[in-house]
């Protein structure tokens, strides 16, 4: 069974023709069978008619010429840019738009954060920060160099062989010269 309270909320919209056909049918059927809601409908219709009569009577007494002159004057007059901007802002920043801006801002922040995971280096224009952080190095007595190569943003750990070491290839590194 249709709830009287929910129907009463819709009667005004129904009389104004704001409901879709399914809702209109539902309200019409309920109002036809429910004396209390039918009474509310009659009262609202009376109110509409009374308002309409009053406004029509008042309209005949109104002098419209000054009104139209003022409208024409506003159309033809040049407006300052800040007035245009103020009107544009008033139209643009409506309540629903402001409400939407919050989740949209969150979405943008999340997208920026996620993008780094999927497209590494996009923030630095492809030159990704590839630097590593070296927590510890133990080279077991060998000389070791830790370098950060700025151009390719790469961390290099370089082991220098002891010149007197037992490895027969030590001579080769001597001839190959310093690596950096």
Partner 1 sequence: MKLLKTRRRLVLLFSLLLVSWAGWGGAAEKNPQSVQVTIRSILAANKSDEFDAKLKGMEQQLKSLKYRSYHSLKDETKTVAWQGSQSFEIPGGRTLTVAPQDFQNNRIALKVHLTENDKPIVDTTVKIPNRGNFILGGPPHDGGVLVLSISASAP
Sites of contact with partner 1 (CB under 8 A): 13, 95-96, 99-100, 102-103, 106-107, 110, 113-114, 116-117, 120, 128-140, 142, 144, 149, 151-152, 154-161, 167, 169-170, 172-173, 175-180
Backbone angles phi, psi at 154, to 5 degrees: -120, 145
Least distance to partner 1, CB of residue 11, Å:
14
Least distance to partner 1, CB of residue 154, Å:
5
Residues in the chain: 180
Comparison of 21 and 175: residue with beta carbon closer to partner 1: 175
User: In angstroms, rounded to a whole number, what is the distance separating the alpha carbons of residues 126 and 75?
Assistant: 54
Half-sphere exposure of 138 (CA within 13 A, CB side): 1
- CA 100 to chain centroid: 5
Residue 147, beta-bridge partner list: 156
Question: Apex CA 94: angle with CA 99 and CA 102, to 5°?
Answer: 20
Least distance to partner 1, CB of residue 132, Å:
4
Write out the two tokens for 98. Answer: 């402001």
Q: What count of other Cβ atoms lies within 10 Å of the Cβ of residue 38?
A: 14
Buried b (16+ CB within 10 A) or exposed e, 155-168: eeeeeeeeeeeeee
Closest among 127, 152, 128, 106 to 114, alpha carbons compared: 106
Least distance to partner 1, CB of residue 117, Å:
6
Comparison of 35 and 177: residue with beta carbon closer to partner 1: 177
Comparison of 73 and 175: residue with beta carbon closer to partner 1: 175
Comparison of 35 and 178: residue with beta carbon closer to partner 1: 178
Comparison of 52 and 174: residue with beta carbon closer to partner 1: 174
Least distance to partner 1, CB of residue 148, Å:
10
């Amino acid at each position: 069974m249709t709830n009287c309270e929910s129907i009463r909320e819709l009667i005004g919209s129904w009389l104004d023709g704001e409901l879709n056909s399914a809702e209109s049918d539902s309200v019409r059927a309920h109002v036809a069978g429910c004396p209390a809601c039918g009474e509310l409908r009659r009262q609202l219709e009376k109110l509409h008619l009374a308002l309409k009569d009053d406004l029509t009577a008042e309209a005949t007494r109104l002098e419209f010429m000054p009104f139209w002159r003022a409208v024409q004057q506003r159309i033809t007059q040049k407006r300052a840019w800040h007035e245009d901007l103020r009107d544009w802002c008033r139209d643009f920043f409506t309540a629903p738009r402001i409400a939407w801006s919050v989740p949209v801002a969150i979405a943008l922040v999340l997208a920026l954060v996620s993008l780094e995971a999927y497209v590494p280096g996009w923030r630095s224009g492809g030159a990704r920060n590839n630097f590593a952080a070296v927590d510890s190095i133990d080279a077991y007595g060998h000389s070791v160099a830790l370098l950060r190569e700025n151009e390719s943003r790469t961390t290099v750990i370089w082991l220098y062989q002891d010149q007197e070491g037992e490895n027969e290839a030590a001579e080769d590194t001597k001839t190959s010269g310093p690596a950096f």
